[in-house]
Amino acid sequence: MIDTGISSRIPLEEYARILGEGEIEELRALAKPLRGRSIEMINSTAVGGGVAEILTRLLPLAEQFGLNIRWDVLTGGDDFFEVTKAFHNALHGAPYHATARDFEIFKAYNERNQSRLPLDAEFMVIHDPQPAALIEARKKNGNHWVWRCHIDLSHPNQAVWDFLEPYVARHDASMFSSPAFARKLPIPQYLFYPAIDPLSEKNCDLEPEFIAGVLARYGIDPQRPILTQISRFDRLKDPVGVVRAYRIVKRYFDCQLVLAGGGAPDDPEGSVVLKEVLREAENDPDIKVLDLPASAPLEVNALQRASTIVIQKSLREGFGLTVSEALWKKKPVVASAVGGIPTQVIHKQTGLLAHSVEGTAYQIRFLLSHPEIAAKLGESGHQHVKENFLITQKLKRYLTLFLALSGCK
Ligand code: UDP
């Protein structure tokens, strides 16, 4: 079981200060009938990536409302995570020829985890495809199982989806981050936005001296524009495309590029992609490729806050928590119009969208030459996140779902 620790609890009064007492009261009312009842969240990594980020913050908050919530992580060998990463890319639409052996590996590790994990909570929440086959261990007329999908399933590889679909269909409900990701399924499908914790180390206010210290440590010049993309080194995040966009911008502005990314234990491709990025960067002293530890929230926070513009040039994206993180910090964002990103970046209102390397460069140049527009976009972005993508709203959604599943008892 992952221990998020009592020390990571942030007092509810601090959330009330940002969101108003009403929001906390509403959560208390919804949580009351669920107090002491058990919830088990299962995903495939304790650190790295958006799902771990959300669970790290959701648990300490939920516990403060009296919920008996735990978080377990699937274990697997390299062979399992190679298969599941390939499935992940294939479900996002990348070309892939799945073999019978891939499916056997997937099933074998899920079977092993069935006997390792308790799987007996009243509400089981299964995150993403990796643990989807745990549903086989469900007891008849037992607990409630829901499947939370964080990836863009709008154009999945058919063979991989055909393999997963029967597992998904045995859950009581499914949750997707965008209406466009919904599939034809015999179970209810709900829209659930990912969310950030405004008070976590990743998003809280920071002292200017701390931010200056982080910049100094990495040799980043605070006097010149800083363009930043924070992402795992993953081809779907297109870090090489970011370098190419920067090179175009660099012809017009003396700017710097920061590409910061840590790994995740369930992502075996990181080191290969990191090498590709370093090759593309060609020792340009104004490109800082930072291989961060999987969990370095204060550093990520500082880099986001120090940025002139935050980029998220993904080719596919379930949601992209990094976008909400940047908007919360009132940063102008230039991001690709893919997956869950346009829900956060409403073009010309809360940021700018692009569809290519050249488009990304164009929007960055526009913002660098119109700082007053950039500031306005950042302000509206902050408000948009406050209204839609904070962890308190997410908990509310979960509580409502659990109440509905249990017949409001
Ligand atoms: N992140 C991090 N360090 C890194 C790279 C990413 O802490 O070096 C965090 C990032 O701030 C965000 C999460 O990992 O909270 C990534 O979530 P997102 O939804 O953007 O992408 P995913 O990795 O889940 O595809």
Q: Name the percent of the chain lying above pLDDT 90.
A: 92
**Which of 44, 45, 47, 53 to mutate to test ligand 1, by most ligand atoms within 8 A of the CB atom?**
53
**Among protein residues, the one whose CA lies closest to atom 6 of ligand 1:** 231
- From residue 47, how far is each of 51, 55, 106, 267, 299 by CA, in Å? 9, 10, 21, 11, 15
pLDDT at 266: 84
Residues 90-122: pLDDT tens digits? Answer: 999 989 999 999 999 999 999 999 999 999 999
**Which of 58, 88, 230 to mutate to test ligand 1, by most ligand atoms within 8 A of the CB atom?**
230
- 208-388 and 6-195+390-406 share a CATH fold: yes
CA of 48 to the centre of ligand 1 (A): 6
Which CATH number applies to 208-388? 3.40.50.2000
Closest atom of ligand 1 relative to the 48 alpha carbon: 14
Spatial separation of the C-alpha atoms in residues 366 and 371, rounded to whole Å: 9
The helix (H) or strand (E) run that includes residue 191 is strand 189-191
Closest atom of ligand 1 relative to the 51 alpha carbon: 24
Closest atom of ligand 1 relative to the 317 alpha carbon: 25
pLDDT band at 139 (very low <50, low <70, confident <90, very high): confident
DSSP lists the bridge partners of residue 288 as 258
Q: DSSP state, 35?
A: T
> Chain-wide mean pLDDT for the chain?
96
Break the chain into its structural domains and give their ranges: 6-195+390-406, 208-388
Residues 374-406: pLDDT tens digits? Answer: 999 999 999 999 999 999 999 999 999 999 999
> What SS3 state is found at 330?
coil
Residues 291-303: pLDDT tens digits? Answer: 999 889 999 999 9
CA of 313 to the centre of ligand 1 (A): 13
CATH superfamily of 6-195+390-406: Glycogen Phosphorylase B; (3.40.50.2000)
CA of 49 to the centre of ligand 1 (A): 4
Find where tokens 């995150």 sit. Answer: 127
Is the pLDDT score of 322 beyond 90?
yes
Closest atom of ligand 1 relative to the 150 alpha carbon: 24
**Which of 321, 324, 343, 344 to mutate to test ligand 1, by most ligand atoms within 8 A of the CB atom?**
321
* End-to-end Cα separation, the chain, in angstroms: 28
CA of 105 to the centre of ligand 1 (A): 27
pLDDT at 262: 82
CA of 294 to the centre of ligand 1 (A): 9
Please report the beta strands in 19-127, taking only residues with DSSP state E, as ranges in sequence order.
Answer: 38-43, 68-73, 123-127
**Among protein residues, the one whose CA lies closest to atom 11 of ligand 1:** 322
**Among protein residues, the one whose CA lies closest to atom 23 of ligand 1:** 49
Q: DSSP state, 236?
A: G
CA of 64 to the centre of ligand 1 (A): 25
Closest atom of ligand 1 relative to the 237 alpha carbon: 25
Closest atom of ligand 1 relative to the 297 alpha carbon: 7
Nearest in space to 30 (alpha carbons), one of 387, 398, 391:
398
Residues 246-258: pLDDT tens digits? Answer: 999 999 999 999 9
Give the DSSP letter string of 130-181.
TTGGGGGGPPTT--EEEEE--S--SS--HHHHHHHHHHHHTSSEEEESSGGG
pLDDT at 407: 87
Is the pLDDT score of 263 beyond 80?
no
pLDDT band at 5 (very low <50, low <70, confident <90, very high): low
Contact 130, 43 (CB under 8 A): yes
Closest atom of ligand 1 relative to the 49 alpha carbon: 23
**Which of 55, 232, 312 to mutate to test ligand 1, by most ligand atoms within 8 A of the CB atom?**
232
Contact 290, 190 (CB under 8 A): no
**Which of 84, 258, 303, 322 to mutate to test ligand 1, by most ligand atoms within 8 A of the CB atom?**
322
CA of 163 to the centre of ligand 1 (A): 28
CA of 198 to the centre of ligand 1 (A): 15
Determine if the pTM surpasses 0.75: yes
Is the pLDDT score of 1 beyond 90?
no
**Among protein residues, the one whose CA lies closest to atom 22 of ligand 1:** 49
Is the pLDDT score of 6 beyond 70?
no
Spatial separation of the C-alpha atoms in residues 218 and 234, rounded to whole Å: 22
- From residue 212, how far is each of 10, 96, 198, 261, 302 by CA, in Å? 26, 44, 21, 20, 8
Ligand 1: residues with CB < 6 A are 49-50, 53, 202, 230-232, 260-262, 292, 297, 300, 319-322, 325
Residues 53-85: pLDDT tens digits? Answer: 999 999 999 999 999 999 999 999 999 999 999
